[in-house]
Amino acid sequence: MDNFQIETAQNVSIYQNVASIGDRILAYIVDLLIIIAYWVVSIFIIAQFGLDSQAMGDIWAYYLVLGLPIFLYYILFETFWDGKTPGKAVMKIRVVKLDGSKPGFGSYFVRWLMRIIDIAGSSGGIAVVSILMSDKGQRLGDMAAGTTVITEKKRARLSDSLIVDIPENYIPTYPQVTVFNDKDVQLIKTLFKDAKRNGNHNVIIKLADRLKEKMDVTPEETNVAFVERVLADYNYYTQQ
């Protein structure tokens, strides 16, 4: 449930990172605490005005001040805050359509309405199960609305572990390194570092020979220098 692929109207593939169940639960707890705090403060303020919750004439005040904001909490925040509630904002997650676009009011309304079933009616049990079972992190409300919840946190990428230091005026030697992808270079870097650390020169020789064959080059430098050059060149071309 880490990510899923969407296809935009322009036929461009985009990968969305699905919010983890932990982040969604923590966001729910934050929102619940805010609702409780609002309820306590509102009760205190109403008490200062001497309103009687048993008097028919004062029931409307309780309903408007206490009930209505709490009742509409999720749909109002998500509609007017780009799919976020305060809890979601804290956890850096938000609601989106499955195609990556911003949901309309109808989608938020369906999600909010379905809270009665998968959150309120089951103490969140149905929501948790459906999110864990869905490869797109959807609770029942999301499935009905065609939405999901994504994370906006920056996750460590494989390419981040490939970075090697190269001078600002670095001149690459082997444009053929572009035949490799990030996973290939990660494996090359791991094998090379382990072989150097363990003094296993035979591994470096075999690795260099394999790279020469794959890139169809005949370098004049040593095997160690050649592999280091390959790693540096790959970083140069992929960072441009």
pLDDT bin (cut points 50, 70, 90) of residue 8 is very low
Instruction: Give residue for tokens 């911003």.
Output: 102
- So what's the pLDDT on residue 78? 95
Question: Are 104 and 185 part of one and the same domain?
Answer: no
* 147: enclosing H helix or E strand: strand 147-151
178 and 147 belong to one structural domain: no
Record the pTM: 0.60
Per-residue confidence (pLDDT) for residue 122, from 0 to 100: 83
Question: Quick one: pLDDT at residue 159?
Answer: 46
- Per-residue pLDDT band for 198 (boundaries 50, 70, 90) equals confident
For residues 199 and 118, membership in a common domain is answered with no
Q: Which of 30, 121, 128, 111 is nearest to 74 (CA)?
A: 111
End position of a domain, from candidates 112, 132, 151? 151
- What is the pLDDT confidence band of residue 18, given thresholds at 50, 70 and 90? confident
Tell me the average pLDDT across 205-232: 91
Q: Of 121, 151, 181, which residue is a domain's last? A: 151
- Using CA atoms, how far apart are residues 77 and 98, in angstroms rounded to an integer? 20
Are residues 167 and 212 both part of a single domain? yes
pLDDT digits (tens, 9 = 90+) for 146-194: 999 998 876 545 444 555 667 778 888 998 988 888 888 888 888 888 8
Q: Do 171 and 224 fall into the same domain? A: yes
Query: Which pLDDT value is given to residue 51?
Result: 58
Q: Are residues 140 and 171 in the same domain?
A: no
Give the mean model confidence (pLDDT) for residues 187-211: 87
pLDDT at 13: 45
Domain span at residue 76 reads 3-151
Clarify whether residues 104 and 141 are in a common domain. Answer: yes
The answer, yes or no, to whether residue 239 has pLDDT greater than 50, is yes
Torsion sign (Cα): 159, 162, 165, 171: negative
User: What average pLDDT does the segment 47-69 reach?
Assistant: 65
Band the pLDDT of 1: cuts 50, 70, 90.
very low
pLDDT at 36 over 70: yes
The residues, ordered by sequence, that sit 6+ positions from 16 with a Cβ below 8 Å of its Cβ are 3, 4, 5, 6, 96, 100, 148, 150
> Strand, helix or coil at 96?
strand
Does residue 227 come out as left (phi exceeding 0), alpha (psi in the -120 to 50 range) or beta? alpha
Of 88, 118, 151, the residue at which a domain comes to its end is: 151
Distance CA 68, CA 56 (A): 17
What is the chain's length? 240
Residues 121 and 142 in one domain: yes
Stronger pLDDT, 220 or 74, i.e. the higher one: 74
Predicted local confidence at residue 7, as pLDDT: 47
Paired strand residues for 13 = 7
Q: What are phi and psi of 131, to 5 degrees?
A: -65, -45
Q: What share of the chain is helix, strand, coil (3-state, %, to 5)?
A: 60, 10, 30
Q: Both 31 and 93 in a single domain?
A: yes
What is the reported pLDDT for 165? 65
Same domain, residue pair 176 and 73: no
Highest mean pLDDT range out of 52-56, 64-68, 107-111? 107-111
In this structure, the answer to whether residues 122 and 173 fall within a common structural domain is no
Kindly state whether residues 133 and 224 are assigned to the same domain: no
User: Measured on CA atoms in the order 40, 46, 49, 55, is the torsion positive or negative?
Assistant: negative
* Of residues 1 and 44, more confidently modeled: 44
Q: How many domains does the chain have?
A: 2
Mean pLDDT in residue range 129-145? 90
Over residues 98-122, the pLDDT tens digits come to 877 789 999 999 999 999 998 888 8
